[in-house]
Structure 1
């Protein structure tokens, strides 16, 4: 139903969308997740041409919405959008907010528009608020009214741009409940959300956006249970990440550890865990691993900390194949490393070496 090909959006100081490609089938429910500032909202706004793409093509049912001379209003009429901040008209009642576009754009009679509006207000649980002004409603009620307004236009595609981000936590559930019920109606839906459990439960597919692209695309079971790519895994598991590139012959271990301790303080990591991480890094890198490498050889050191389970994992990668550094440690160092870690795994893949250590 929707084809996106090499979509790019450039602003003067930032490029949120670099090369976005996707095929979306009719009736799919797709949640779009990822860190803040990775172009998720820009992506939706390009889809309905609230933003003009810099490059690329968007097709809706085979019709290009980006081609010169495209009838954007006609194609866009297939889409509805629910915004973060409701965008209701403050001087109109809730039922009038839902009626106005039906009368002006779909040329329905006021009675038809009113009947349709009341039907939808019943559906979202707001029939008793029809004659209220927006200021008399809670945030969750306003967002449900905004959803009803979108549905009144009979869209085939509904875009949700972080529909719960402006809400008090106590109101999030009522809005997600309405969206969940809509997901069973056969609408094609794209939802930018930070509600991970909701995304997992409701979606047929997940787009993880990062680095200006759809970095990983898969079923919820894959994305949340077994993500294939490193950034996806870090995001899903809410990992705090410390990364350093180390070059043999130009190693400043004091500076490296100072930066690590800044990371520790920022994330309030348990002291025992920090001591074990520190010990493993010092023993494996400085004593056993770096001496194996020739000048100029590089290592990538990553420490991933999960605040959910207070666990840390150390990942060491190199393009250079080397011996297992544990084999170069003396008995005391080996024993201490065993006491500090839960698991240790070293693999040589395509001439590259990777060590993964789960720290206690």
Structure 2
């Protein structure tokens, strides 16, 4: 993408931020520094005028600092995907008066008589490229080269929880300060240039005059235990389920969908385990064979297994007679707030939407046909078989 905005891009920016002129001007003035963010906003905003999405300008008017750029971007991305699925979408404001003392959801979607509240959360685990990008782009604004950085093990180590991220940010602060001194010593005509810094091999290459860019990749990533990613998803779902409890009674009758905009495959793979539970595989059974019952599930599961949710529960893995089954239930079973409040969870990863319905939620917020409504397959794909008894 060029370092200058095209007329189409300028017009889209002016329209989207029409009610936030100060931030619009700042965004345009700092385009070279925030090119990555603008590219993603352009992708999210293009063609939105052709979709039934309301409140875009008002939502963008709430952005007063760069900290709100990425969360709002996720809301736009989700709104666009839902509008493509024939939902009427409204982006709700942080101070929506209808919710009085309670904090409103991010979106309201509707189709015919059906109305669903949607809460969006951006979970990117440890986005190492973006973290460094934020710190280095101001240094590159007036320079005519790009940085290609290869990380050593220390800066490659994935940081998921708060303490790990804080430690890593401190490492980056030291890294950037020392790098800044080296950049100041480089003459514009000294390119290409390569030097070493704290075990980080940094190659500086000439590029299009007038702006800097960063490309980077890790050399020795340290694996994070999968349970940490599960904990991240559990934390997100807990936080969102508790929000619904602050709403007045009139708004509790509508389904409540939590939408996770995920930025790492590890977080994506952790969703099933966090919501439904960990699985056990018995390799000596053929796929269509039954064994003995190996797990005594909690009453909330056994009650549903006796009702019209049996087939869905079998598909999700709550049938310990089969070769693949849930042996330790997740928070949809074990935690009352998540079980009661959330109709289901949807994820968006690499442009693909998947659906995780909650078969244990209150009848008032339940929606057993959630995958059909979202026009996505049930996730996971019928791991428990057809649900027919032997």
| Shorter-chain TM-score tier | under 0.3
Larger radius of gyration: 1
TM-score normalised according to structure 2 size: 0.22
Q: Tell me which protein shows more strand as a share of its residues.
A: 1
Q: Return the TM-score normalized by structure 1.
A: 0.23
